[in-house]
Amino acid sequence: MTDSPLDAPGTDPFEIAREAAAVIAERSGAPTHDIALVLGSGWGETADRIGETCASIDNTDVPGFAKAAVVGHSGTMRSVAIGDSGRRALVFGTRTHFYEGRGVRAVVHGVRTAAAAGCRAVVLTNGCGGLRPEWAPGTAVLIRDHINLTAASPLEGATFIDLTDLYSPRLRALAKEIDPTLDEGVYVQFRGPHYETPAEVKFAATIGGDLVGMSTTLEAIAARQAGLEILGISLVTNPAAGISPVPLSHEEVVEAGAAAAGRCGDLLARIVARI
């Protein structure tokens, strides 16, 4: 049991998501939203490049959401006009991580709220470690598939859901049309919050991984359950442990993210405009 209200006995997380969506509709003036974005480490400036922010809502004002736990993440969500298309993006400036111990329902609450708000697609971004030496810090990589090493799932009971093509081939093709230099990789989620040992990074490579991180896979599974189309983009902020001789630090991660923010924001804005 966790201290999240989402885990209180008898609570239906989908009902709380509908309540959250109702608050967002009221506070943003938009009865529905079209696309959701979850901004991970290094992706924080993206919202400004998508279009005008119509409303900024404190996470703590929305049922089921909590304050940001990570330095460099903002505890607000925004309703952003997508250019002058008349469509709206719901942009989450932070996420709840599995390692926070608030339970899986809290981790996927944003995605479920986005679906309840009318979104048809979600863009999941993160900062992560890279296993390929050619991916310098600041390289954006499309997630082609994932390996979930958390031993957890957002699905409860005997809910069997197919995860083939979880990360939309259509949206990956669209992203590559916009930036043909984008590589793709398999994202491996560890629980964290410690970074991996070099031996664990070797293991991730052996089982087919290209990227290591602490988020995204549980959200993607919940997004599939909710019927959302999914695009996953990782920002490689550091070589994974043992790939480079230098130890990892969170400060370096934040710096690499800040340095790449403009480029990543532009890329995402151009993708969102065409989803």
The binding site for ligand 8IG (CB under 6 A) comprises 41, 127-129, 190, 192, 195-196, 212-214, 237-238, 240, 248, 253
What's the min distance (Å) between Cβ of 222 and ligand 8IG?
Answer: 20
Taken in order 90, 96, 102, 108, the sign of the CA dihedral is positive
What's the min distance (Å) between Cβ of 105 and ligand 8IG?
Answer: 22
**What DSSP string runs through 58-78?**
EGGGSTT-----STT--SEEE
Return the number of the residue (56 or 150) whose C-beta is nearest ligand 8IG: 150
Distance in angstroms between the alpha carbons of the first and the last residue of the chain: 38
Distance (Å, whole) CA 109 – CA 36: 12
What's the min distance (Å) between Cβ of 9 and ligand 8IG?
Answer: 33
Return the number of the residue (46 or 168) whose C-beta is nearest ligand 8IG: 46
What's the min distance (Å) between Cβ of 244 and ligand 8IG?
Answer: 10
Return the number of the residue (153 or 244) whose C-beta is nearest ligand 8IG: 244
Distance (Å, whole) CA 67 – CA 1: 19
Q: Which of 45, 177, 184, 196 is catalytic?
A: 196
Distance (Å, whole) CA 126 – CA 112: 18
Residue 15 falls in the annotated catalytic set:
no
Which residue's Cβ has the minimum distance to ligand 8IG?
Answer: 129
Q: C-alpha 106: how far from its chain's center?
A: 13
**Any idea which residues carry the catalytic annotation?**
196
